[in-house]
A and B are shown apart, each in its own frame.
Chain A
């Protein structure tokens, strides 16, 4: 018998299997932390005259929720949306409302279409992101005109195209989340 299967039996993609277990802080913290960093990033990366960067916080929230339905409760949109509101420039309360509605919408869609697949996830996210970007533009506290809605279109297209990439990142983060690092 070669040594390789034995080695594989001792460790998998989450690390050593013997004498190690998941770290609760990592397992519960990574989703929230990554979404909060996603809320901060659009503010830090670029300073532009028109909106361009997709709403990374919401996209990460949707991606986590669709990839791994068990880890974020339905009400996770409330605290995370509150954090996003501090930095997004939208009037306070906008993300609390819209992120909660997004979580409830995903719940309803899952009850109605219980099958899983990436295309369905992408369509779900596309629907939610489209609604989110236009509703948050309308509720932004500014006088809404056609030009503003037009200016939101590039951001929306970018968000739809970037979503598969975001869900790959979330898949990687999910592996990080379940790393066995704690000695048992």
Chain B
């Protein structure tokens, strides 16, 4: 049997009015939501204040849970390590031998670089990071890809600063609270990053797709020179990111470029470094449409 309807509470006027008012408030609330949504789609920075304040409040909880998350990951990794210790050991020995050879090659290249830079009169501009922090959370159930850091304005972080993990570029700071900040990850579909292929100067844009992949769009269209396995690094164009930081590995080719896996997956990241903007003057001076997308 169907239960009696809540909408007809009997002859009590008060109960009837109460139900009616509830519907009115719900409808008005939905309208309010629609207006606020339209406002924040039109001006994405409209509600930064309350949002960053709220994140500052939960940042300590996030820091604790980040620690637990990383410990849990390393526990699983060490168990998995026991299960395939033998074969892994043999493989690692081979890899170390190769790596030693590459290291010597890299040392040679470094020396040559130094010599060439000395010729050009360039100085090494390896700025120390502004802050080092944990990733304390991310928007794991939303279509937008943001992560939150446990450091903010008090540590000197400003919007626009690049964020990198030991493996490579993670994203860019979007808004800053007192003790927390919001980072747009590379995989967010609003993220555009100028990159070049590591071994030569094939330049491209790496755009987020909203899933785990980046879309590499070549600037010079023509015969697609990319191959699966190519590594892309930041090119430094635009002035935000220091050149030469690893970004992505090509996994499959498309008509105008490729799809690439990000190298620095936020799920596998513990501590991240927030770098100062590489060339603030270039950022100020840049007014090309691609840069407007970057600074959005």
Q: Which residues of A contact B (CB under 8 A)?
A: 40, 42-56, 69-70, 73-75, 77-78, 81, 85-101, 103-104, 107, 110-111, 114-116, 136-137, 139-145, 147-148, 150-152, 155
Among candidates A49, A75, A86, A142, residue contacting B212 with C-beta atoms closer than 8 Å:
A49
Chain A residue contacts of B66, Cβ below 8 A = 47
- Does B29 contact A46, Cβ atoms closer than 8 Å? no
Q: Are A56 and B34 in contact (CB under 8 A)?
A: no
Binding site for A on B (CB under 8 A): 2-3, 5-7, 22-23, 25-27, 29-30, 32-41, 44, 46-47, 50-51, 54-55, 58, 61-62, 65-66, 69, 135-148, 185, 187-190, 209-213, 262, 265-267, 269
Contact of A96 among B33, B61, B148 (CB under 8 A): B33
Least CB separation from B25: chain A residue? A75
B residues less than 8 Å from A140 (CB atoms): 142-144
A142 to B40, CA, bound (A): 12
CA distance A73 to B41 in the complex (A): 28
Asked whether B7 lies within 8 Å of A111 as measured between CB atoms, the reply is: yes
Task: List 7 tightest A-B contacts by C-beta distance, closest first.
Answer: A89-B139, A93-B36, A96-B33, A97-B33, A78-B29, A93-B37, A151-B211
Q: Is the interface of B mostly helix, strand, loop or mixed?
A: mixed
Q: Are B141 and A88 in contact (CB under 8 A)?
A: yes
* Complex interface: chain B residues within 8 A of A139 (CB): 37, 41
A46 touches B267 (CB 8 A): yes
Shortest Cβ gap from B154 to chain A (Å)? 20
Structural contact, B147 and A47, CB atoms closer than 8 A = yes
Is A116 a contact partner of B3 (Cβ separation < 8 A)?
yes
- Give me 17 A-to-B residue pairs in the complex whose CB atoms sit less than 8 angstroms apart, sorted by A's number: A45-B65, A45-B140, A48-B140, A49-B262, A75-B26, A78-B25, A81-B33, A86-B54, A86-B55, A87-B139, A89-B138, A111-B5, A116-B3, A136-B142, A140-B142, A142-B190, A155-B141
Whether B47 contacts A92 by the Cβ 8 Å rule is yes
B34 and A53 contact, CB distance less than 8 A? no
- Across the interface, which residues of A come within 8 angstroms of B6, CB to CB? 69-70, 110
Residues of B close to A94: CB separation below 8 A: 33, 37, 40
Q: Which residues of A sit under 8 angstroms from B141, Cβ to Cβ? A: 42, 51-56, 88, 155
Asked if A142 and B58 make an inter-chain contact with CB atoms under 8 angstroms apart, the answer reads no
Q: Please indicate the chain A residues that have their CB under 8 angstroms from the CB of B40 in the complex.
A: 91-94, 141
- Is there contact, CB below 8 Å, between A47 and B266? yes
Is B32 a contact of A96 with CB atoms below 8 Å? Answer: yes
Which residue from chain A places its CB closest to the CB of B215 in the assembled complex? Answer: A147
Which residues of the partner chain A approach B147 to less than 8 Å between Cβ atoms?
47
Beta-carbon contact of A46 and B32 below 8 Å:
no
Question: Quick one: given A40-B58, A155-B141, are A47 and B7 in contact (CB under 8 Å)?
Answer: no
| A49-B262, A74-B23, A77-B29 known; A92+B144 contact, CB < 8 A | no
B26 touching A143, Cβ below 8 Å? no
A50 & B22 in contact (Cβ 8 Å cutoff): no
Residues of A within 8 A of B46 (CB): 92
A78 surroundings in chain B (CB, below 8 A): 25-26, 29-30, 32-33
Q: Let me know if B137 and A43 touch, CB within 8 A.
A: yes
Other than the given A46-B267, A93-B36, 15 more pairs (CB < 8 A) read A43-B148, A44-B136, A48-B140, A49-B265, A49-B267, A74-B23, A88-B141, A92-B37, A93-B32, A96-B33, A99-B33, A100-B27, A100-B29, A144-B189, A151-B143
Q: How far is the CB of B179 from chain A (nearest CB, A)?
A: 16
Closest to B269 in A: A47
Q: How far in angstroms is the closest Cβ of chain A from B27?
A: 7
